[in-house]
Amino acid sequence: MAERGVGSATDGQDSEIATSEVVTTTRLETFSDGVFAIAATLLVLDLHLPSGVRPGGLMHALFTAHQLAEYAAYAVSFFVIGITWLNHHSVFRQVREVDRTTTIINLLLLLVIAFLPFPTQVLAEYLNTGGRNAHAAAFFYSLDMAVMSLLWASLWWHCTSNGCQLLRTKMAAEAVRRSRLQFTGGVLLYLPMLALAFVSAGLTLALQAALALYYALDPLRRSRPSTPI
């Protein structure tokens, strides 16, 4: 799949090969979109009917602290996956050619995203219990997010290596440096969350939501000069 890039299609069958390459990039995005959409939508399966509801007690049971924790965990994870999808799109819109390493890193990234419903369920279950179990749940959740940020950084470092030959438009060295710093900074934002988890599970969830919102502002966009390079 990989190295047979557009550049190597020098003689004959140009349009044929060019087309199949476009499909390749498109198809990687289609598969990724699928995983994002499914992982986000599967989160609802983490929500459980309140148990032991007495006659007339459902209204109260639907809004207990435990249920609200489940809804909050659902909403934050849905938002995180949605924003990640958004940035995945921003990144791959700039990618011209998907090589094998990109594909492998992307697979690992999807693996970690598709895993998120599990830590979400753990967090939903233990968030409002407080104490060490809530901390462990928040740590487990933040661990998944930290690995995700590491894979994002790896993906971008790889895409901008070797003179950005995988990108649609060459980036200036300064822009490459700045964009790489931002992705690396992402890792530095997510690592302290692992420690914060042991202070407050609720605060950790709130900050994870805040980080997702921060990333909704598109780091790549800010690293781009006002005119396209």
Contact between 28 and 16 (Cβ < 8 Å): no
161 counts as binding its own copies under rule CB under 8 A? no
Near its own copies by CB under 8 A, which window of 86-94, 147-155, 158-166, 171-179?
A: 86-94
Longest dimension (CA), the chain: 76
Shortest separation between residue 54's beta carbon and its own copies, angstroms? 9
Residue 45 CB coordination number (10 Å): 10
Number of residues that bind its own copies (CB under 8 A): 89
Q: Residues with Cβ < 8 Å from 69, sequence gap 6 or more?
A: 123, 124, 127, 128
The residue within the footprint of its own copies, chosen from 69, 72, 84, 85 (CB under 8 A), is 85
Contact between 77 and 43 (Cβ < 8 Å): yes
| Residue number, 127 or 207, with CB nearest to its own copies | 127
Candidates 6, 213, 175; CA nearest to 95 is 6
| Residue number, 45 or 65, with CB nearest to its own copies | 45
Q: Which residues in the 25-84 window bind its own copies by CB under 8 A?
A: 26-27, 29-31, 33-45, 47, 49, 53, 55-59, 62, 74-75, 78-79, 82-83
Phi/psi at 95 (nearest 5 deg)? -90, 130
| Residue number, 26 or 188, with CB nearest to its own copies | 26
The residue within the footprint of its own copies, chosen from 64, 100, 188, 210 (CB under 8 A), is 100
Give the three-state DSSP class for 145.
helix
Q: Which residues in the 116-145 window bind its own copies by CB under 8 A?
A: 116-118, 121-122, 125-126, 129, 131-133, 135-137, 139-140
How far is the C-alpha of 94 from the C-alpha of 168, rounded, in Å? 5
